[in-house]
Homo-oligomer: A and B are copies of this chain.
């Protein structure tokens, strides 16, 4: 079908080539690798059904997810796709992405959590024994930590592993209802093994939580083993394809050798020994949190693409000339979409920058220097929470900006919402994450007070919080000036909250004082993350690799990101006296001007994310803009349309009519 005229016009009048931004995001080679991987997935007839996921019953979605994985393994072989240590930009990554095989796919947990755990916590012998089996899928595993009554706070996990010296076994038990393992992905049906976190008990004495490899199902016939009770935990908001499960042990025995013993051991005569876990063991967790920044950016970029393209096609409410303008021409619509577009870029660039910091710190740790691990902890906790929370809020704005059709699964946005919002909770609940970030910021602040030097992204704590602001006009964009604004707000906030904590702690204990100011601490952590994001986004624009026209547009978008965030959080800037009311007015006016300046490039900016239709999976976000044909097709495929007359009519409506003595 021909491309919708309005969309074609938008593209023709853009001031830059979208490719130039795509290339900046992925590199020239990366862009082609990604396109090829996506195209191969899109053109493969065996991979069609996944597009219907939001409309299928759960059982079919699960079945289809398993089938897709089987096809995928075959194709990865055919194409020779195998990423080596490039979690965010390899061909294998992109190909799997196009097939929805990621962290929430039933086999995702096996690859992303189970196998890495064996490799990091297993002894060399354990690795030699279990890794090959896991690779050929003889063993399919999950990681069972969360219990029905225990999430974030691991010390209170109740599952026990009691050592039986005579039989050289551990006896696994779920002693209470609240100790039932709950939520682990792929536990319900896919896995035949689990790495179970449980409390070690030897001769009645407790030795803390450790990981135990437990076989759950027969390797031949996949039947659940005696002593094990497990199943799927039923429907959730999203994640239909994932068999999150529950697991209950009753005197279930595993060999002594199935405790992962790299850092803690139980000898055959029941002697417990342990070495402190090197900090490098925590790196996996930090890597996952970094990847969530990418995940959130991706979900938001897709929602922004869908809503922006649709807003160029959709027309509404006649102007005085009797014509219906494109919805994209309304200022209120721009104020919904442009924050979404700019934030999606902000988090994408921030994700890349964070990933570089992560790699740097990993190399340093491997070379024996762990000095920056605490910085990484602070950054990844905060940014995981900030990116997921902000992205999901804007995804919902995009969804509502599509009017009624945004409510249909045809738009593709409800699924993005349900998927992205889970990231606010898993891998560390966001409020807990912000508080960890805050705790770490306060520690750095105290270190600075006692004269210690601060690492990379914390250096700003050494700067003065009292730089007077000279903003008198916003005409000439100066990213340094804006970054200074965000920095000042943060410094003034942390200065204030430290004062409050110290004052309160005099009257009570530190723990009570901490809780009393925790809302303020969360806000302070968010302000820090906002600073990190504006700083990393603005720094990206300084790279030499930019095409000049693309850089010009991206500079406007970055400026909009900065000013719109000031406007949205005006209270913080005024309250801390970082901005005067008159200066805020200048910023507000500038935000309106920028809406008008960005308008002509809106469609090209989302085209530059370069998502294929298959991945967007949206009637409204199609590249060709033929949204109404697509909606009509989607409607016709409804499962309710299998019958022209629904059986419930004869079964329930007819008897009612008769009872009401209707003359039929």
Query: Which A residues form the contact surface with B (CB < 8 A)?
Result: 54-55, 57-59, 62-63, 66-67, 69-70, 73-74, 133, 135-138, 140, 146, 148-153, 155-156, 177-178, 180, 182-183, 188-190, 217, 219-224, 231-238, 243, 246, 314-320, 324, 329-333, 335, 396, 400, 403-404, 406-410, 414, 418, 421-422, 424-426, 429-431, 435, 509, 511, 515-519, 522, 569-575, 577, 581, 584, 592, 628-629, 631-632, 634-641, 644-653, 655-657, 659-664
Chain B residues positioned under 8 Å from A58 (CB to CB) = 639-640
A234 and B660 in contact (CB under 8 A), knowing A518-B332, A570-B575? no
Complex CA gap A83/B518 in Å reads 49
Q: Are A407 and B237 in contact (CB under 8 A)?
A: yes
Complex CA gap A18/B237 in Å reads 32
Shortest CB distance A578–B (Å)? 12
Q: Are B233 and A635 in contact (CB under 8 A)?
A: yes
Interface centre among A182, A224, A404, A629 (most CB of B within 10 A): A404
Chain B residues positioned under 8 Å from A647 (CB to CB) = 63
A648 and B571 in contact (CB under 8 A), knowing A319-B511, A408-B236? no
Known: A63-B651, A235-B408, A570-B575. 11 other contacts (CB 8 A): A59-B639, A62-B648, A67-B652, A70-B656, A152-B316, A182-B635, A219-B664, A231-B635, A330-B518, A403-B429, A570-B574
Shortest CB distance A508–B (Å)? 12
28 of the cross-chain contacts (CB-CB < 8 Å) are A55-B234, A58-B639, A59-B639, A67-B648, A136-B657, A136-B662, A137-B657, A137-B662, A149-B314, A151-B404, A153-B318, A182-B631, A188-B638, A189-B640, A189-B649, A231-B638, A231-B641, A233-B408, A234-B408, A234-B638, A234-B640, A235-B409, A237-B408, A331-B519, A400-B421, A404-B425, A570-B572, A570-B574
A662 and B231 in contact (CB under 8 A), knowing A331-B518, A332-B435, A519-B335? no
Partner of A569 from the list B135, B571, B650 (CB cut-off 8 Å) is B571
Chain B residues positioned under 8 Å from A317 (CB to CB) = 152-153
Interface centre among A59, A636, A638 (most CB of B within 10 A): A638
Shortest CB distance A533–B (Å)? 20
Shortest CB distance A299–B (Å)? 16
A70 and B571 in contact (CB under 8 A), knowing A407-B236, A640-B59, A657-B138? no
Shortest CB distance A488–B (Å)? 15
Complex CA gap A317/B154 in Å reads 8
A243 to B, closest residue via Cβ: B640
Chain B residues positioned under 8 Å from A664 (CB to CB) = 138, 219-220
Chain B residues positioned under 8 Å from A150 (CB to CB) = 316
Q: Are B62 and A640 in contact (CB under 8 A)?
A: yes
Chain B residues positioned under 8 Å from A180 (CB to CB) = 628, 632
Chain B residues positioned under 8 Å from A515 (CB to CB) = 329-331
Complex CA gap A180/B630 in Å reads 13
Complex CA gap A315/B190 in Å reads 31
Interface centre among A73, A329, A570 (most CB of B within 10 A): A570
Chain B residues positioned under 8 Å from A418 (CB to CB) = 414
Chain B residues positioned under 8 Å from A422 (CB to CB) = 407
Chain B residues positioned under 8 Å from A73 (CB to CB) = 656
A432 to B, closest residue via Cβ: B317
Q: Are B649 and A222 in contact (CB under 8 A)?
A: yes
A636 and B231 in contact (CB under 8 A), knowing A319-B511, A571-B574, A574-B575? yes
A415 to B, closest residue via Cβ: B237
Interface centre among A221, A592, A644 (most CB of B within 10 A): A644
Q: Are B581 and A577 in contact (CB under 8 A)?
A: yes
Q: Are B635 and A232 in contact (CB under 8 A)?
A: yes
Shortest CB distance A459–B (Å)? 28
Shortest CB distance A174–B (Å)? 11
Chain B residues positioned under 8 Å from A653 (CB to CB) = 66, 70, 137, 140, 190, 222
Chain B residues positioned under 8 Å from A329 (CB to CB) = 515
A430 to B, closest residue via Cβ: B400
Q: Are B431 and A332 in contact (CB under 8 A)?
A: yes
- 4 closest pairs, A vs B, by CB? A570-B571, A571-B571, A136-B662, A234-B638
Interface centre among A146, A220, A243, A628 (most CB of B within 10 A): A628
Chain B residues positioned under 8 Å from A243 (CB to CB) = 640
Complex CA gap A651/B152 in Å reads 37
Chain B residues positioned under 8 Å from A663 (CB to CB) = 136, 138
Q: Are B646 and A246 in contact (CB under 8 A)?
A: no
Q: Are A136 and B660 in contact (CB under 8 A)?
A: yes
Shortest CB distance A420–B (Å)? 12
Chain B residues positioned under 8 Å from A153 (CB to CB) = 316-318, 324
Q: Are B246 and A635 in contact (CB under 8 A)?
A: yes
Q: Are B177 and A632 in contact (CB under 8 A)?
A: yes
A519 to B, closest residue via Cβ: B335
A63 to B, closest residue via Cβ: B648
Shortest CB distance A456–B (Å)? 28
Chain B residues positioned under 8 Å from A659 (CB to CB) = 74
A150 to B, closest residue via Cβ: B316
A663 to B, closest residue via Cβ: B138
Complex CA gap A54/B58 in Å reads 12
A148 and B408 in contact (CB under 8 A), knowing A55-B235, A318-B156, A331-B516? no
Q: Are A511 and B320 in contact (CB under 8 A)?
A: yes
Q: Are B660 and A137 in contact (CB under 8 A)?
A: yes
A581 and B574 in contact (CB under 8 A), knowing A66-B652, A67-B652? yes
A509 to B, closest residue via Cβ: B320
Complex CA gap A425/B396 in Å reads 12
A646 and B400 in contact (CB under 8 A), knowing A431-B332, A577-B581? no
Q: Are A645 and B221 in contact (CB under 8 A)?
A: yes
A655 and B137 in contact (CB under 8 A), knowing A222-B649, A243-B640? no
Chain B residues positioned under 8 Å from A628 (CB to CB) = 148-149, 177-178, 180
